[in-house]
Amino acid sequence: MNEEQMQAIGEKVVEVLHGIYDPEIPVDIYELGLIYDVRVSDQGDVEIDMTLTSPSCPVAETMPEEVREKVSSIDEVNDAKVIMVFEPTWTKDMMSEEAKLELGFL
């Protein structure tokens, strides 16, 4: 798989992430800044570093699995792995301008 194909898969992954919402906040997890990194290998494997708004978040068990399942459903993705990270700690500053506007922080 070449660099262009890997980038196209990465863009599809981001598109899928835009469709996953934190159940407590009406903004998708990508715009919330919960996705720290998306890596696509030349075999079509995807690794996603993500965090939660807090380690005690009620969706700590289900959200990573939902992300993995939805990303795995992309035809070009061979395998998807979600790695939960809590460093750096998530803050409101990690939200996109769009998310801040939606939540009334701007």
Q: Which residue has the tokens 């992309």?
A: 74
The pLDDT tens digits of the residues spanning 42-85 come to 999 999 999 998 878 778 889 999 999 999 999 999 999 999 99
Q: Is residue 18 within 8 Å of 30, Cβ to Cβ?
A: yes
Domains of the chain: 3-102 (3.30.300.130)
Q: Please state the rounded mean pLDDT for residues 35-46.
A: 97
- How much is the pTM? 0.92
The CB-side HSE value for 61 (13 A sphere, CA atoms) comes to 1
Distance between start and end Cα atoms, the chain: 42
Q: Give the pLDDT score at 23.
A: 82
Q: Give the pLDDT score at 53.
A: 86
Q: Give the pLDDT score at 59.
A: 80
Q: Is the pLDDT of residue 94 over 90?
A: yes
Q: Give the pLDDT score at 33.
A: 96
Q: Give the pLDDT score at 58.
A: 79
How far apart (Å, rounded) are the C-alpha atoms in residues 85 and 24?
Answer: 20
Count of CB atoms situated within 10 Å of the CB of 63 = 21
Which of the four pLDDT bands, split at 50, 70 and 90, describes residue 100?
A: very high
